[in-house]
Amino acid sequence: MNLVLGAGFLGIEHFTPPWDVFFLPLFNLLIASYRIIFSDFALAIIVFTIVIRTLLAPLFVRQIQSQKEMQRMAPLIREVNRKHKGNRTKIAEETQALYREHGVNPAAGCLPVVLQLPLLFALYQALIRASNVVTLSVKDAASDTFTQLQAALPGIVKLHDVKDAAGAVTQIQFAAPVAGSCNLPQFEVANFTHFLPLNCQLVDPLQLTEKINTHVSWLMNLDLAQVDNKFGFLIPGIGFTISALAVVAALLQFVQVRMTSPKPNPDDPTSSTTTTMTYLFPLLTIWWGGLFPSGLILYWIVYTAYLVAQQYRIMAWGNLFPLFGWQPGFAPAPETGLVSRPARRDPPEQTGRDAAPPPNQRASGTPGGTSRPASRPTKKRRRGRKR
């Protein structure tokens, strides 16, 4: 039964279904990357991210293809809304008929997102756990539960205090031990879950003898377990750091979102919301860069850059350009309003008297005819001529 539940399997002593079904494989993969790649945590995050995104590539490709088809159908949907304005039932019927005609499933782009959400949350938790830094409020750090945890789990080390703009201590950071008891009752309290020793959830070949080195020498000794303190700019007076890494992540996210966003349309009520999100998400990324460890921001840079590369392979530059009025020569204008239809077969060529005249010889009275009618034979004109 323990083998089925996961506890005791290859050295894993702490297993909590169903969450650990997603979390433990990713956590062990990240630590494996760290152990194999010269104990470099930054390179481990990069390799880890590329591996995960490659495994999820089929879901992402399907999502982008669905978004692209929906954008190409947008003009037809707008025409239906204009034609049956105020008649929601008719609009819904005509819209579904269009989807069936063109073989487009509007829900196809949502399914990959739903399937990826548990993995994204697990990735976030894996990076937090690997950094081995736990932040507690002053109240939690002074609680009886934490005092009992420190007594039962030697190796919890205080790192430093986190102060606000006025200099008051608001939070305290601790380092969790690498090894120790794996089933203490205090681990069931949400605020103390991350004090679980790392080895409790690692398979035997990956178990550590010392904590993970989160300092990266080739990034000016940046500590990936802390907020960016090497490439950041501290705003005086408010104590908030604008991370250069977060700015890079925000720019990549802007490119990634804009490539797949539909063109602004004043007739579409959702167009303004889409445009707002295109700028809001990058700003939130900059904000998160001053709150979360820089290891998470590095992960987000690699993650978003990979998405941009995937999108470029599928849809070139998409709707990225024109960008603030700039249309570079290497990026042709994107398609607008073109919906792929099955190729129409031309009728077989006709011969003899039934053959249709070429377009340039059609009578001016026929639809599409632009030239004069062909001249009659000279012989017939002579018969009708008066003397």
User: Per residue in 9-66, pLDDT tens?
Assistant: 678 999 988 888 889 998 999 999 999 887 899 999 999 999 988 988 887 777 777 7
Contact at 8 Å (CB) between 34 and 16? no
Total-model pTM = 0.72
Residue 262 is assigned to a structural domain of this protein? no
Segment (H or E) for 174:
strand 169-175
Domain residue limits at 167: 133-211
Is 138 within the bounds of a domain?
A: yes
In a domain, 137, yes or no: yes
Task: Pick from 102-116, 274-288, 350-364 the range whose average pLDDT is largest.
Answer: 274-288
Q: What local confidence, expressed as pLDDT, does residue 221 receive?
A: 93
> Does residue 182 lie in a domain region?
yes
Supply the DSSP symbol for 350: P
Helix (H) or strand (E) holding 183: none
Share the mean pLDDT of the chain.
Answer: 79
Per-residue CA distances from 167 to 12, 162, 171, 242, 278 (Å): 42, 9, 12, 19, 36
What confidence tens digit (pLDDT) does each residue in 270-317 have? 556 667 777 888 999 999 888 888 998 999 999 999 989 988 888 788
Helix (H) or strand (E) holding 90: helix 88-102
The reply to whether 160 falls in a domain is: yes
Domain membership of residue 16 (yes or no) is: no
The count of structural domains within the chain is: 1
In a domain, 44, yes or no: no
pLDDT on residue 375: 45
